[in-house]
Structure 1
């Protein structure tokens, strides 16, 4: 690896580390330290699809309904989701995110925003414009 590529590697590794620290801060603020990437993915799926039932979530995540039920029960204990009975059909339950669940589901986006804030605090206007222009070239 050339010296320039090695330097780029170190710089990006540092940015990724900062983003990871920001994510950890968000999880810590939510009182959760042992959540898995897979669980975050399930919360994101619930967040993205809105009105999601157990059957629909099973289909979206390619899991069985018993697996989804077990997962939702765990999320309820973690205070990330709650069940809401369908007003038209009492047999159907929707899985809804609590505020805590939403914060976790959106942690990746929030941590990126925190990294951007740190960059904005560290760079002047001209440096930010230059960074935008340079990164815009990467495809």
Structure 2
């Protein structure tokens, strides 16, 4: 590997490390530093789909209803979700995120925003424009 590529690798590793630290910081703020990646994934799915029922979540995640029930009950104990009875049909419950659950579901996105804020605080306008142009050229 050339010296420039090695340097680029180090820079991206540092960016990734900073993002991960920000994610961990957000999860710690929520008091859930031991939450699993899979659990965060389920919270993201609930966040993305809004009015999601147990059946719908089971279908989306390709899990059984008992598995979803167990997971949701765990999330309720963690104060990440709550169940809300449907006003139209009392047999149907919606799974809703609490504020804490929303923060966890969006932790990765918020971590990226924190990294961007750090970068923007270190660069002037022209440097930010140059960085944007370079990154757009790659992607």
- Distance in 2, matches of 1:62 and 1:40, equals 16
Give the distance between the partners of 1:80 and 1:38, measured in 2 at CA. Answer: 14
Secondary structure at the aligned position of 2:35 is classed as: coil
Between the aligned partners of 1:104 and 1:93, the Cα distance in structure 2 is 22
The CA distance in 2 between the partners of 1:39 and 1:98, in whole Å, is 15
Aligned-pair distance for 1:125? 1.1
Residue 68 (structure 2) aligns with = 68
Q: What is the match of residue 8 of structure 1?
A: 8
Q: What is the rounded CA distance, in whole Å, between the counterparts of 2:41 and 2:59 in structure 1?
A: 14
CA distance in 2, matches of 1:2, 1:54: 52
1:137 aligned counterpart, secondary structure: helix
Give me the TM-score of the superposition, normalised by structure 2.
Answer: 0.99
| Cα deviation, residue 126, structure 1 | 1.1
The corresponding residue for 2:38 is: 38
Partner deviation per Cα, 1:21-78 (whole Å, 9 max, x = no partner): 0001100111111111110010000000000000000011111111100100000000
Matched ranges for 1:21-60 at <5 A: 21-60=21-60
Gaps of 5+ in 2: none
CA offsets, 1:4-24, max 9 Å, x none?
111000000000000000001
The 4+ residue runs of structure 1 with deviation greater than 3 A are none
CA-atom RMSD in angstroms: 0.6
Deviation at 1:124, TM superposition (A): 1.1
